[in-house]
Amino acid sequence: MIRRGGAGLLVAFLLLAAVGVLSDQLGLPSFYLILLGSICFWIAQATSWNILSGYSGYFSFGQAAYVGVGAYTTAVLSGRHGVDFFLTVPLAAVLCGLLALGVGAVAFRLGSLRGEIFALLTLAVPFILAAFARINRSIDGGQGNTVPIPELPDVFGSPQQSQYLLALSIAAIAVAAAYAIQHSRTGSALAAIRDAEDVAEVMGVATFRYKMLAMLISGVLGGVAGSVYAIQIGFVTVESVFNLTIPLFVIVMAVLGGRTHWLGPVIGAVLIVTLQDRLSSYGLDAWNSIILGAILALLVALAPDGLYARLRARPYVALGALVVVSGGLAALNVWGELLDWLVAGMLVAGVLAIVLGSRPASSKAATGSIPAEDEPKMEPRQPGAMLIECRQVARYFGGVHALEDVTLDIPAGELVGLVGPNGSGKTTLVNLLSGASRPTRGVIRLDGRDITRMAPHRIAHVGMARTYQIPRPYDSMTVRDNVAMAIMFGREPLSLNRARPVAERHLATVALDHLADAYPAGLNLHQRQLLEMARAVASNPKVLLLDEALAGLNPAEIDNAVRVVRRIHESGITIVIVEHLLRVLNQLATRLVVLDRGTLLADGAPQAVLNDPAVIRAYLGRQAHV
C-alpha cells in the first residue's frame, strides 16, 4: 500500500520528469535545467547524509568522500579508459558501499566511536582520499579528468535534458529510499539509536547491524550521485569533489529542512541552492558562506527541529505567505524575475513557519493512579524453574572491585529486592545481567542460556528487560511509540502499526494511557518511571530489572508505583528491584539480597534479612529509611 507521502513523491517525480522531457516545448531556458539538476544533486547528497546522520544521530563530515570516489570512478573509467558511463555507476556504488562499510567497521566495531570522535574520523577520510588522488597519476596526479558526455537514446532529448533526468532519477531514488527507511523497522531502530543508543540495544535493537546498514545505504547513494555529478560538471578535479564545503552544505541543508524526516533534506536543498543561485546572479558569491553560516547558527538557536516540523505545524500560513509574496511580486513586476520572486516567497514562508510554528505541545496532564481497590492480591508463588544463575561473578573497574565472586540463583516467580549501601555494586550487577557491561570473571545464565558474553539485544530476546535509575525514554517519540518500540524489537516482534494498540494496553496497566500522544519531555519523574516500566514489560520479558524505580517519588507516587510493580509481578514476570526504601521492600519483595562492597552479604526472606546483625551493621546503621 502506497502512503500519501509515497504517492506525492511519485507525482512530484513524474511532473519534474515531464518538465525535463518537455523543456523545449515549454520554452524553458537551459539555465533552469542546469539549476534543477544542481538541486537534484544536492537533494541526493543531503538525503544520503541524512539517512546516516539525521536518522541515527551519527554526525558525519565525510560526505565528500562519497562524492569524490563516485565522481572519480566515472571520470577515470569513462574519461581515460572509455568505459560506458552506465557501467561506471554500479562500480561507484560498490566502491562507496565498501568504503562506507570499512569506515563503519572501524567506527562501530573496533572503536565504538561516537559524537565528535566519529565526526573526526569521517572528516579524515576525504582528506586521505584527496591526497591519494592528487599523488596518484593513474587517478588524477594534479591533472584533473575530463568526463565525456554519455550517449543516451534520443528520447532523453539534449545532453542537458538527459543530465537533468539522470540527476532527477538519482535524487528520486535517494528520497524514495529515505522515505522507505523512515517508514520501516530500520527507521524506527535508527531513531531509537539517535535518542538513546545503549537503551535501544538493551531493548532488543541490533544497533551495530542497523548502523552498518545506514552507512551502506548512505555510501551507495552518495557514490551514485557523485558519479552522475561527474558528468554534470564535465571536468573532475580533487578540489571540486573532495571539497570540505560539501559536508558543510549537506549538513546545513538537512538541519535547515529537518533531520528526522525524509522531506527535510529536500526542503533544505531547494532553499539553499536557489538562494545561492540568486546571490550569485547578483554578484554576491562572497556572501554565500557568511549567509550559510548565519542560517546554521540561527537554526540551531531558533528551530533545531528544522523547517519541516514548523511547516507541518502551520502549513497554510506558509503556503499563504509563499503565494502572497511570490504572486504579489510577480503581479506587480517590481523587481527581478521569476526565480527572485520564488526565493523571496520561500524565505518569507520559512521565516514565518519558524516564528509561528512549534513542535507538538507536550501534555502536562496529571498522573493517573491505579485505583487501590484494583490492586491485585498477592498470592504465594510456587518456586519455578531457575531463571537467573550467577556463578562467581566479578566486575572490576581498574583497581575498583565493584563486584567480587557473586553467586546468586533466582527462580521464576520471585520478586527480589536488591539492596546495599551506595557503591555496593547493585547497578553494576543490573548492568551485567542486562549485558550493558561484561563481567571480568564468572558466568551468568538466563533461563538456562549462557548470556555472559552475549550482545545486549540478544539478551533482551532471551527475556531480560530493565529500567534505568534516571529514566531514559526515546525523546523524539510519543509515549505510545516509546512502548511500541519495545514491542517491535521485543521477544514477539510486531510491526509499528500493530504494536501501537498493544502499547496502549500496556500504558493502561500503568495508568498512562491518557498520555499516549504526549512526548516524554512533558512527563514528570513519576510518569517517566511508569513509562520505563510499561516499556520494559511491553518487550515481554521473563525477568524485569528495576533500577531504583521509586527514587525521588513522593509517598503517594511510591504507593502508586508499588501497585504497578505488584501488578507486573502478578502477570508472571520475575522481578529484581534495586531500592533503598527497605520499608517498601519489606512489604513488596518475596526475598532480599544484600550486597556490601561488591560481595553478597545476605540472601533470604525479607524479615530474616532485615534482622540479620551483619546487615544491620553494614547497611542499616548507615541508612535511615527503615
Ligand X SMILES: Nc1ncnc2c1ncn2[C@@H]1O[C@H](COP(=O)(O)OP(=O)(O)OP(=O)(O)O)[C@@H](O)[C@H]1O
Residue from 194, 278, 314, 426 in contact with ligand X (CB under 6 A)? 426
State whether the Cα torsion 108-112-114-118 is positive or negative.
negative
Residue from 50, 53, 274, 424 in contact with ligand X (CB under 6 A)? 424
**Number of C-beta neighbours around residue 455 at 10 A:** 16
Stretch that binds ligand X, among 95-103, 418-426, 567-575, 583-591 (CB under 6 A): 418-426
CB-wise, 31 or 397, nearer to ligand X? Answer: 397
Cβ-in-10-Å burial (0-12, 13-18, 19+) of 169 comes to middle
CB 421 to ligand X: min, Å: 7
CB-wise, 281 or 623, nearer to ligand X? Answer: 623
CB 42 to ligand X: min, Å: 43
CB 578 to ligand X: min, Å: 7
What is the size of the binding site for ligand X (CB under 6 A)? 11
CB-wise, 260 or 424, nearer to ligand X? Answer: 424
User: How far, CA to CA in Å, does 470 sit from each of 197, 275, 466?
Assistant: 15, 45, 12
Burial 465-501 (b: 16+ CB within 10 A, else e): bbbbbebbbbebbbbbbbbbbbbbbbeeebebeebbe
Stretch that binds ligand X, among 131-139, 319-327, 425-433, 535-543 (CB under 6 A): 425-433
Burial 270-302 (b: 16+ CB within 10 A, else e): bbbbbbbbbbeeeeeeeebeeebeebeeebeee
Q: Is 467 in the site for ligand X (CB under 6 A)?
A: no
Contacts of 81 by beta carbon, 8 Å cutoff, 6+ apart: none
Residue appearing with cell numbers 531513531: 191
CB 93 to ligand X: min, Å: 42
Residue from 427, 434, 478, 539 in contact with ligand X (CB under 6 A)? 427
Cβ-in-10-Å burial (0-12, 13-18, 19+) of 14 comes to exposed
User: Per-residue x/- marks for ligand X, 370-409, CB under 6 A?
Assistant: ---------------------------x--x-x-------
Cβ(76)–Cβ(148) below 8 Å: no
Phi first, then psi, for residue 313 (nearest 5°) are: -70, -35
CB 294 to ligand X: min, Å: 41
Q: Is 428 in the site for ligand X (CB under 6 A)?
A: yes
CB-wise, 225 or 593, nearer to ligand X? Answer: 593
List, as one string, the DSSP characters of 579-599. -S-HHHHHHH-SEEEEEETTE
Residue from 333, 382, 422, 497 in contact with ligand X (CB under 6 A)? 422
Stretch that binds ligand X, among 26-34, 216-224, 369-377, 420-428 (CB under 6 A): 420-428
Q: Is 434 in the site for ligand X (CB under 6 A)?
A: no
Stretch that binds ligand X, among 8-16, 184-192, 426-434, 480-488 (CB under 6 A): 426-434
Q: Is 22 in the site for ligand X (CB under 6 A)?
A: no
Residue appearing with cell numbers 511570490: 326
Q: β-strand 543-547 against 464-466: which pairing, if any? A: parallel
Q: Is 509 in the site for ligand X (CB under 6 A)?
A: no
In the chain, the amino acid numbered 560 is: N
State whether the Cα torsion 526-528-530-533 is positive or negative.
negative
User: How far, CA to CA in Å, does 535 sit from each of 193, 343, 434, 546?
Assistant: 16, 46, 15, 12
Stretch that binds ligand X, among 125-133, 308-316, 417-425, 560-568 (CB under 6 A): 417-425
CB 443 to ligand X: min, Å: 19
Q: Note the residues at the interface with ligand X (CB under 6 A).
A: 397, 400, 402, 420, 422-428
